[in-house]
Structure 1
Amino acid sequence: MKRREFFKNSSLLGLGAFFLGAESLKSNTIREEFRHKKTKNIIFMVSDGMSSGTLAMSDIYSKRILGKPSAWLGAYQDDLMQRGLMDMASKTSIVTDSAAASSSWGGGHRVPNGNLNIGAKGEEYEPILQKFKKAGKKVGCVTTVPITHATPAGFCVNIKSRSDQAVIAEKYATLDFDVMMGGGQKYFDPKSRKDKKDMYAVFTKKGYHVAKNKSEMLKAQPNQKLLGVFTEDSLPYSVDAKTLGTDKTTPNLLDLTQKAIEQMKSHSNGFVLQVEAGKVDWAAHGNDFAALLFDQLMFDSCVNHVLDFAKKDGNTLVVITSDHGNANPGLVYGKGVDPLFDNTVSIKHSNDWILQGIRTDATEKEIIDRLYENSGNMKISTEHAKEIIAYYKDVQAEDGIYNPKHLPFQLLSKMQYGHFHVGWNSMNHTSDYTELAMYGPGSEHMKSFMRNDQMHNFLLKVAEVDMLNKA
């Protein structure tokens, strides 16, 4: 199908602008700007598990503390991007997991939670990055969680269970993709894999530059295939990396995004890149306010960089969204909420880092001091300190009390409420219609409300890769 035939009805979009007022006129002017440009590159950006409250709090922090709007909402304020909502339900539930969510975009079909591009009856749907690679584009993914995790994998592979990350690493080696970077060394390192297979050696043999730290990543030459796996599991939370100085050796999401674009931008047939802030979701699961806020702000810095690139390039479609909500955090009305929220400027560490460092024999004073020094000068009572001590002594777990599943995240977040006035709905995914934004050629065809499984065909068609759309 020809692009002009598929979008022939969209030629009428600009006709109503005269009657819709100044704002609509401006919006349609933006649409006209891209109407005759080619969608050569696509950068698909996902803040995993981002509820609307997360987006709002990052913008409020940016305005109050940094003195400027966030890049994402600032682009809305400037009428730079098209804006809409997306229904992210899976095949089996109105509340999706990340595997089914990414698969809906990656394979163009809703699948059961936990599956990666495998339907309820075993149907296999060809992932979108495989299609773009066949069409001659360079492709890649970067993330702050293991590169084998659900969201990048949903754009790349077919597998029944998202948990088989060692197998996903093997599948990646067969795809000849151009850039794959994140955490997850335990799925590549022979010392950690059960089968003792050296996946680093496999990728090296296939011509990849393999990087295990920031300096090795930066040595990769443009157009060279690049595998970057920088930590055993996930990358550090942004707030921890800044305080500990690990950002000197371990790249952050902005570093990964910049390098990925640099590796692929000169390709004559263009590129497709997925960028994921995966630990926004992890922080929401832990009701970990500092981790959530500063990882969202890091994602926003990537939005800023990507939009700058797209403006200069002129042929890049930017898609910015989330795969689902998580925990629905937000600032709650009450006396002093403004200055209480401003306490965030003094935060040094995530709750995850704080709780991982509490000994089972810690004293009340040690806990009070640890929280005061690292959680925005928060003062807890002796009674609260006793509650935390009791939690560590009472938990019995074969996989260890320092497994994040067993740490007292919810207990600590409730104590922090009076210090930051941030409330939480739960510790799990929610059924939010997710925020959807687009900039660049192709964005003029975006609907203001989409089903998640419509995104697959949309991306293929605006990039004129219709011939591969056989899933």
Structure 2
Amino acid sequence: MNRRKFLKGSALLSGLLTLNPGDFFASNVQGAPDPKKKAKNIIFMISDGMSSGTLAMANLYSQNILGKNGNWMNLYHDNRVSRALMDTASASSIVTDSAAASSSFGGGFRVKNGVLNVGANGEKYIPVWQKFKKAGKKTGCVTTVTITHATPAGFCINSDSRNAENEIAEMYAEIGFDVMMGGGDEFFNPLKRKDKKDVYDLYKQKGYQILKNKNDLKNTEKGKKILGVFNSGALPYSIDRTHIPELQTTPSLAEMAQTAIDQMKDHKEGFVLQLEGGKVDWAAHANDIAALIHDQLAFDEAVKTAVDFAEKDGNTMVIITTDHGNANPGTIYGAEATKNFDSIASYRYTNEYILNAIHPDFNLQQMKDWIYETNKISLADDEAQHLLSFYSGLEKQEAGLYNYKKLPFKAYSDIQKKHNSVGWISMDHSGDYVEVAVFGPGKELLPAFIKNTDLHYLMLKAAQI
């Protein structure tokens, strides 16, 4: 054997194996032929943290409990979209966070986890909504988490840290996006900011109308920019909004989407709009099946809102995807799997709400009664005692992203698993390939396998920017 050739070949192979899988297979969207028809408008939809199991279970629930197929699945069933798998890696890991993922879409380059459109050497990649704004289009973002969160921010601004939400709130106003709606009152309200700055006033000075509740959506002034902030922190989970009257002043994703579309649809140069189901990701982090399914279904209602408009309009591209998987939930084989899964229809609240309502002074029977009332699950004594032990300090309190109160999410989802046949691999993001669907003009630009960055260039090519 020629040792020099062998070593040279080994070195080459070693170098290849350090690349992300998508680097081998991704198609070059930039080199594709121009679209058959130019997209005047683009609606980019992200169900944040949606593993393929989440999509499947939400559709199964819709079929079994609601008696209908989901809107996203109907697009596949009727062959109305182009469909692809997407590699979601970041520059620093095969498993991305939402900041790097959104930056891939927004800036067209992979960046390290935690930053927004800033390269390893400080390069600032121009966010895609700024490119479209410069081209004369109206621009907007709508989310069920804070409007300053990583996913909307990745389409809009550059920042060394996704956590700089106070600064991001001010950046939006300076740039002048047309419609921004979600949660995050603490980043705008002078009574909640440490620096006491009145960021709402900054927006008012720039001519924005400020929306604070669902009723305000009905009274928007056409042609005037919108800042809608409907809650401190994220918006409520969909299933809790349904069953808790005081939460019903906050709008759904579909309701916000409709207002955003109506506000921008008559602009002669068109518009671009990002719609994010952000709490799908939070539900996956919590292994909270009721929260997960119902927020995915709420996202699916927004899919209908977007596609109905696009179908009627004829000039709108709709991209439907996720930024990464999370927790990889799925149904588990067993004789009672269908019956167990269908029992989720009896869940009236999120695990977050249920576990928050438990107090250290609960006795065993109170614990069992509360779980039966909210989930129709009859706890065994040892299960009830195990849950109580977290509140009396006997068990180590659980950590986890978006689990500030150290609630026993995993312990409870493990109990639920015995009754609903749903399992989870973790409480964090995963690096699996994810779904992409494209409807409308330019859908033929989507190859069967892409990198996340390719969607940046697909949007630009579709709109001929």
TM over 0.5: yes
Task: Give the drift of 1:216.
Answer: 2.1
Rounded Cα–Cα distance in structure 2 between residues aligned with 1:7 and 1:119: 21
Q: Where does residue 284 of structure 2 map in the other structure?
A: 284
Q: Where does residue 380 of structure 2 map in the other structure?
A: 381
Rounded Cα–Cα distance in structure 2 between residues aligned with 1:183 and 1:119: 28
Rounded Cα–Cα distance in structure 2 between residues aligned with 1:224 and 1:244: 33
Do structure 1's residue 136 and structure 2's residue 136 form an aligned pair?
yes
1:416–1:209 Cα change, 3 Å: same
Rounded Cα–Cα distance in structure 1 between residues aligned with 2:107 and 2:378: 49
Q: Where does residue 155 of structure 2 map in the other structure?
A: 155
Rounded Cα–Cα distance in structure 1 between residues aligned with 2:403 and 2:150: 20
Q: Could you report, residue by residue, the CA deviation over 1:289-332 in whole angstroms, capped at 9, with x for unpaired residues?
A: 00000000000011111111111000000000000000000010
Q: Where does residue 370 of structure 2 map in the other structure?
A: 370
Q: Where does residue 30 of structure 1 map in the other structure?
A: none
Q: Where does residue 43 of structure 1 map in the other structure?
A: 43
Secondary structure of the structure 2 residue equivalent to 1:174: helix
Task: Give the drift of 1:225.
Answer: 0.5
Task: Give the drift of 1:342.
Answer: 1.0
Name stretches of at least 5 consecutive residues in structure 2 with no aligned partner.
Answer: 1-28
Q: Where does residue 441 of structure 1 map in the other structure?
A: 441
Rounded Cα–Cα distance in structure 2 between residues aligned with 1:379 and 1:221: 52
Q: Where does residue 201 of structure 1 map in the other structure?
A: 201
Q: Where does residue 173 of structure 2 map in the other structure?
A: 173
Task: Give the drift of 1:423.
Answer: 0.4
Secondary structure of the structure 1 residue equivalent to 2:193: coil
Task: Give the drift of 1:218.
Answer: 2.3
1:98–1:9 Cα change, 3 Å: closer
- Is the CA contact 2:318–2:438 (under 8 Å) kept in the aligned structure 1? yes
Rounded Cα–Cα distance in structure 1 between residues aligned with 2:222 and 2:199: 23
1:38 maps to a residue whose letter is K
Identity across matched positions, percent? 52
- Is the CA contact 2:188–2:200 (under 8 Å) kept in the aligned structure 1? yes
Rounded Cα–Cα distance in structure 1 between residues aligned with 2:193 and 2:352: 26
Q: Kindly report which structure 2 residues correspond to 1:54-453, keeping only aligned pairs within 5 A, or say none.
A: 54-246=54-246, 248-375=248-375, 377-394=376-393, 404=404, 406-453=406-453
Q: Where does residue 17 of structure 1 map in the other structure?
A: none
**196-205 or 402-411: bigger deviation:** 402-411
Name stretches of at least 5 consecutive residues in structure 1 with no aligned partner.
Answer: 1-5, 12-34, 466-471
1:349 maps to a residue whose letter is Y
Secondary structure of the structure 1 residue equivalent to 2:217: helix
**215-224 or 258-267: bigger deviation:** 215-224
- Is the CA contact 2:30–2:458 (under 8 Å) kept in the aligned structure 1? no
| Number of residue-to-residue matches in the alignment | 433
1:9–1:422 Cα change, 3 Å: closer
Rounded Cα–Cα distance in structure 1 between residues aligned with 2:281 and 2:166: 22
Rounded Cα–Cα distance in structure 2 between residues aligned with 1:39 and 1:246: 41
Q: Could you report, residue by residue, the CA deviation over 1:27-65 in whole angstroms, capped at 9, with x for unpaired residues?
A: xxxxxxxx6432000000000000000000011111111
Secondary structure of the structure 1 residue equivalent to 2:227: strand
Rounded Cα–Cα distance in structure 1 between residues aligned with 2:237 and 2:87: 28
Q: Where does residue 455 of structure 1 map in the other structure?
A: 455
1:292–1:392 Cα change, 3 Å: same
Q: Where does residue 4 of structure 2 map in the other structure?
A: none
Secondary structure of the structure 2 residue equivalent to 1:232: coil
- Is the CA contact 2:209–2:227 (under 8 Å) kept in the aligned structure 1? yes
**366-375 or 316-325: bigger deviation:** 366-375
Q: Could you report, residue by residue, the CA deviation over 1:243-288 in whole angstroms, capped at 9, with x for unpaired residues?
A: 0134531111111111110110111110000000000000000000
Secondary structure of the structure 1 residue equivalent to 2:180: strand
Task: Give the drift of 1:143.
Answer: 0.4
When normalised by structure 1's length, the TM-score is 0.89
Q: Could you report, residue by residue, the CA deviation over 1:384-440 in whole angstroms, capped at 9, with x for unpaired residues?
A: 11111111121688x9xx954611000000000111100001000000111000000
Task: Give the drift of 1:8.
Answer: 8.9
When normalised by structure 2's length, the TM-score is 0.91
2:381 maps to a residue whose letter is T
Q: Could you report, residue by residue, the CA deviation over 1:330-357 in whole angstroms, capped at 9, with x for unpaired residues?
A: 0100111111111121111000001111
Secondary structure of the structure 2 residue equivalent to 1:85: strand
- Is the CA contact 2:39–2:317 (under 8 Å) kept in the aligned structure 1? yes
2:370 maps to a residue whose letter is R
Q: Where does residue 16 of structure 1 map in the other structure?
A: none
Rounded Cα–Cα distance in structure 2 between residues aligned with 1:175 and 1:153: 12
Rounded Cα–Cα distance in structure 2 between residues aligned with 1:124 and 1:190: 30
- Is the CA contact 2:139–2:178 (under 8 Å) kept in the aligned structure 1? yes
1:328 maps to a residue whose letter is N
**354-363 or 268-277: bigger deviation:** 354-363
**232-241 or 448-457: bigger deviation:** 448-457
- Is the CA contact 2:32–2:445 (under 8 Å) kept in the aligned structure 1? no
1:269 maps to a residue whose letter is E
Rounded Cα–Cα distance in structure 2 between residues aligned with 1:10 and 1:141: 29
Rounded Cα–Cα distance in structure 2 between residues aligned with 1:275 and 1:336: 37
Rounded Cα–Cα distance in structure 1 between residues aligned with 2:396 and 2:426: 23
1:408 maps to a residue whose letter is P
**357-366 or 204-213: bigger deviation:** 357-366
Rounded Cα–Cα distance in structure 1 between residues aligned with 2:190 and 2:231: 14
Rounded Cα–Cα distance in structure 2 between residues aligned with 1:404 and 1:287: 15
1:452–1:319 Cα change, 3 Å: same
